[in-house]
Amino acid sequence: MKEQDKINFNRIAVAIDYIQNNFQSQPSLEEVAKKVHLSPFHFQRLFTEWAGTSPKKFLQFISVEYAKKLLKENQTSLFETAHETGLSGTSRLHDLFVNIEGMTPAEFKKGGQNLVINYSFSQSPFGDILIASTSKGICHIAFVDDEKEALVKLHHHFPKAIYNQYQDSFQQDALSIFSHDWKKLPQIKLHLKGTDFQLKVWEALLKIPMGQLSTYGDVAKHIDNPKASRAVGTAIGSNPVAFLIPCHRVIQSTGMFGGYMWGRNRKKAMLGWEISQTQTQEIF
């Protein structure tokens, strides 16, 4: 690491530590920049390059995680949670949750109460899968070795949701990906929640053509954040929809396949299958 890179790395480490320890006072960009002896403009650019997100977004993520803990573990009211998190009121808390979690703080506190989730188990060329959907679209696909364990993981996200073992049209459309030409499939609707950064990464993955590969660095460049390869890797590891959001098409810049949430051998099998499918389509 070059000397200047070491200096910059240490500055960002100090800034992250300061934000984590002082988020309840909601420090401004100018305040944090002053702590690392940089102008707000220079600090904003440097932090985004090294952390993969802006100082403001990072502060929001820290604030929301703390608020989630208060709502879930301590069962505090929305007003108390906003106050303890250092926010000016419940409207600020509401906006943060909607933008970052994809739900209101009240919905989070209720654990998905009144949300109806249909789910079913199906077979794929790469093993059994659990697929789930809401009234808006697919919210979960996972390869499973144990059905009970897979359901426990699904329920963990929304413990108070209403679950129906039923294969709806969203799921049928999504499952057709294993038996039809990708380009001829009807538009598959997704219902995902994640940070802005995660959603950008997942959207970028959807643009990788079937049977082709990309690298973490390429994905970072695609979302206009070329130095955020590590953050991209973390977002890919949080992908809630296996195969449909094709995180298996991302490999290391060295050519190594890298890890995969559902097993490296399965990742290799999926890539081989996709290549064979695209070659067959080209022949005919």
Half-sphere exposure of residue 168: CA atoms within 13 angstroms, side-chain side: 18
Residue 250: phi, psi to the nearest 5? -105, 130
Spatial separation of the C-alpha atoms in residues 142 and 121, rounded to whole Å: 10
Spatial separation of the C-alpha atoms in residues 224 and 218, rounded to whole Å: 10
Question: Quick one: which of 168, 182, 97 has its CA closest to 138?
Answer: 168
Q: Do residues 185 and 175 lie in contact, with contact meaning Cβ atoms separated by under 8 Å?
A: no
Half-sphere exposure of residue 136: CA atoms within 13 angstroms, side-chain side: 8
Cα 16 vs. chain centroid, distance in angstroms? 21
Spatial separation of the C-alpha atoms in residues 246 and 88, rounded to whole Å: 40
Question: Annotated catalytic residue: which of 247, 251, 270, 271?
Answer: 247
Spatial separation of the C-alpha atoms in residues 15 and 30, rounded to whole Å: 12
Residue type, 132: A
139 is catalytic: no
Sheet holding 116-124, edge to edge: 138-143, 127-133, 116-124, 162-165
Active site residue ranges: 247
